[in-house]
């Protein structure tokens, strides 16, 4: 399994500058406006020639563009926002290409940039329906009571007739942090370890967030499944 | 066959680990034992599997518009 490059490790000077940047996490990989192009003399710089840059970009980054677009669309639920987000991500990736090490996991590297850009630039304006406070949900689902209720009265057979739109709507109705772990795991097939690095959270948090996200999703799906049960009788 | 599972929450967590390919051999062995003897675990397993499949197979995968690909490619050419 390929690992995600520790992009910080070869640019120690940035670390100090970043500390002022608010809560740890989002900005870690690619602080806006902070050029990484000039690594200090004692770091193993990956000085790609221009030709190599384009080569890396085309061979390692471009093949993931459909997945990236899909991720952007699932996060923003809007095509224009997804367009902007993907474009910004790819331009950043090119600008900071010297901190990408060839042969490492380009897809995870790109996803991490996109996720950070989303948090920094798009989250505020994203049109999330009925925005739930993430902390609230996390707290609610931390209680054992909530968990045991959620070994759900939903049957595999009853979800087997759901269509894509219903699944998408159910997914979109989840708070974005829960939606994100489901996208990364179930749609993109990242490992927990890769997800932990993309999201800057411990692996234990990945595990529990995913568990809660799925319980929430099953609740939403149960609503669809039961509304379908009623429809069947009227033979639409 | 057990009609009632005493550790449903833990079993559910384990089932998810297994379906995600993240379980240890030990967890795998434990679940296999449950799956022949515990009715609620069998149901949970099928439900989790079905939900995962809904997400991977039934949801539309958006493709990046060609126009955007072209824009990105032309923009990076003006960069260096
Ligand atoms: Zn059981």
Tell me whether residue B34 is in a domain: yes
Residue B71 predicted with pLDDT over 90: yes
Tell me whether residue B2 is in a domain: no
Q: How many domains are contained in chain B? A: 1
pLDDT at residue number A21? 34
pLDDT band at B37 (very low <50, low <70, confident <90, very high): confident
Q: DSSP secondary structure string, chain B?
A: -BSS-TTHHHHHHHHHHHHTT---HHHHHHHHHHHHHBHHHHHHHHHHHHHHHIIIIIS--PPPPHHHHHHHHHHHHTT-
Tell me whether residue B55 is in a domain: yes
Tell me whether residue B32 is in a domain: yes
A69 and B16 within 8 Å at the Cβ level: the answer is: no
Ligand 1 mean position to B39 CA, how many Å?
Answer: 7
Return the residue of A nearest to B6 by Cα: A148
CA quadruple A135, A138, A142, A147: dihedral positive or negative?
Answer: positive
A191 within 8 A of B21, measured Cβ to Cβ: yes
B62 and A217 within 8 Å at the Cβ level: the answer is: no
Tell me whether residue B41 is in a domain: yes
pLDDT at residue number B9? 87
Instruction: Look up the ipTM and state it.
Output: 0.92
Ligand 1 mean position to A181 CA, how many Å?
Answer: 26
Tell me whether residue B1 is in a domain: no
- The predicted model scores a pTM of 0.78
**Domain extent at residue B42:** 7-79
**B23 touching chain A per CB within 8 A:** no
pLDDT at residue number B33? 85
A80-105 residue pLDDT tens: 999 999 999 999 999 999 999 888 89
């Amino acid at each position: 399994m390929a690992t995600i490059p520790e992009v910080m490790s070869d640019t120690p000077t940035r670390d100090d500058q970043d500390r002022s940047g608010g809560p740890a996490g989002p900005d870690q990989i690619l602080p806006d406006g902070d050029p990484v192009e000039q690594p200090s003399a004692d770091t193993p710089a990956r000085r790609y020639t221009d030709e190599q840059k384009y080569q890396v970009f085309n061979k390692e980054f471009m093949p993931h563009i459909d997945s990236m677009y899909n991720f952007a669309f699932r996060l923003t639920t809007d095509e224009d926002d997804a367009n902007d987000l993907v474009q910004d991500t790819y331009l950043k990736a090119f600008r900071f290409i010297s901190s990408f090490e060839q042969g490492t996991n380009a897809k995870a590297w790109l996803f991490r940039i996109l996720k950070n850009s989303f948090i920094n630039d798009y989250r505020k304006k994203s049109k999330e329906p009925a925005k739930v406070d993430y902390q609230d949900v996390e707290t609610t689902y931390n209680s054992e009571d909530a968990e045991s209720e959620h070994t759900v009265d939903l049957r595999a057979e009853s979800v087997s007739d759901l269509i894509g739109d219903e699944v998408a709507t159910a997914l979109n109705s989840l708070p974005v942090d829960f939606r994100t772990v489901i996208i990364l795991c179930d749609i993109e097939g990242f490992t927990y370890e890769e997800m932990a690095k993309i999201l800057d959270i411990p692996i234990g948090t990945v595990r529990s967030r995913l568990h809660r996200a799925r319980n929430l999703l099953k609740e939403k799906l149960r609503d669809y499944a039961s509304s379908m049960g009623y429809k069947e009788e009227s033979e639409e | 066959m057990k009609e009632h599972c005493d550790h449903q929450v833990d079993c559910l967590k384990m089932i998810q680990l297994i379906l995600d390919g993240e379980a240890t051999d030990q967890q795998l062995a434990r679940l296999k034992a449950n799956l022949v003897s515990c009715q609620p675990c069998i149901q949970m397993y099928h439900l989790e599997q079905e939900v995962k499949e809904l997400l991977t197979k039934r949801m539309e995968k958006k493709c990046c518009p060609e126009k955007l690909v072209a824009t990105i490619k032309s923009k990076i050419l003006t960069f260096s």
